A and B are shown apart, each in its own frame.
Chain A
Amino acid sequence: QSVLTQPPSVSGAPGQRVTISCTGSSSNIGAGYDVHWYQQLPGTAPKVLIYGNSNRPSGVPDRFSGSKSGTSASLAISGLQAEDEADYYCQSYDSSLSGWVFGGGTKLTVL
């Protein structure tokens, strides 16, 4: 049971827009801690996609966007492409655990 809750899977057709939610609590996201998002392609290490809730590292397409409100955060992917098929994870800090915590991951399938 992960501290941050994500849907196990989402899917969408090429060109469509999908969102992945990340629900936390008052000791992590709701306490104001930043949320980061990672993309993990099969057989590779996670790669940071969004940092500080809504910022994209250089090289990440603007099809990817992040937002945060209250005790939740969301990752949106627009103009879905086959190469976006991967696992996506959210991450934040938890003051009760005094450490970094991750969501359980969401598998994105491009239909």
Chain B
Amino acid sequence: QVRLQQSGPGLVKPSQTLSLTCAISGDSVSSNSAAWNWIRQSPSRGLEWLGKTYYRSKWYNDYAVSVKSRITINRDTSKNQFSLQLNSVTPDDTALYYCAREGVNDAFDFWGQGTMVTVSS
């Protein structure tokens, strides 16, 4: 069974960088058939896909247009985990952040537990 365990701070100051990590068990970040995503949820934006990283003979990253200038998704194969960095955050980035696996059917079939991140001074 795949399990995704999120970690990271719940409070970030405006203009700083939001950083979260998602540790994978039961699968590999280097899987040729999965993609590893970050999604956030807020009352104002609903569910919003942020981006993903995946391996298909080489590494790829795809990012949502809305955050493309501020986001980086990295992977650490030695720790079997992937991470989210979102720069220059504002209160509008306050949300519940999820990591999720995109499986062979392109649906998000496994999700992390969610991390509530508040952007406030």
A residues with a Cβ closer than 8 A to B are 2, 34, 36, 38, 45-48, 51-52, 55, 57, 89, 91, 93, 97-105
Q: Dominant SS at the B interface?
A: strand
Residues of A within 8 A of B105 (CB): 34, 36, 51-52, 55
Which of B47, B49, B108, B109 interacts with A99 by CB under 8 Å? Answer: B49
Residue of A at shortest CB range from B64? Answer: A99
Which residues of the other chain, B, contact A105 by a CB distance below 8 angstroms? 46-47
User: Is A48 a contact of B113 with CB atoms below 8 Å?
Assistant: no
What total of chain B residues lie within 8 Å of the partner, measured CB to CB? Answer: 21
| Alpha-carbon gap, A2 to B64, bound state (A) | 14
B102 — nearest CB in chain A belongs to which residue? A100
In the complex the two chains form, is A102's CB within 8 Å of B47's CB?
A: yes
Q: Contacts A45-B114, A97-B65: A102 and B108 contacting too (C-beta < 8 A)? A: no
Identify the closest chain A residue to B99 (Cβ).
A45
Taking a contact as CB atoms closer than 8 A, the residue among B49, B106, B112 that contacts A51 in the complex is B106
CB distance B47 to A48 under 8 Å? no
Q: Is the Cβ of B47 less than 8 Å from the Cβ of A57?
A: no
Kindly state the separation between the CA atoms of A48 and B100 in the bound complex, as whole angstroms: 11
In the complex, 30 of the A-B residue pairs with CB atoms within 8 angstroms, ordered by the A residue number, are A2-B46, A34-B105, A34-B106, A36-B105, A36-B108, A45-B98, A45-B112, A45-B114, A46-B111, A47-B111, A51-B105, A51-B106, A51-B107, A51-B109, A52-B106, A55-B105, A89-B46, A89-B47, A97-B64, A98-B62, A98-B65, A99-B62, A99-B64, A99-B65, A101-B49, A102-B46, A102-B47, A102-B48, A104-B46, A105-B46
Q: A34-B106, A97-B64 are in contact. Are A45 and B49 (CB under 8 A)?
A: no
Give A51 Cβ to nearest chain B Cβ, in Å: 4
Asked if residues A36 and B106 are in contact (CB atoms below 8 Å), the reply is yes
Flag if A38 contacts B108 (CB, 8 Å).
yes
Q: Please measure, in the bound complex, the distance between the C-alpha atom of A105 and the C-alpha atom of B112, giving whole angstroms.
A: 20
Give A51 to B37 CA distance when docked, in angstroms.
Answer: 17
* Most central of A2, A48, A104 by chain B CB within 10 Å: A48
CA distance A48 to B109 in the complex (A): 6
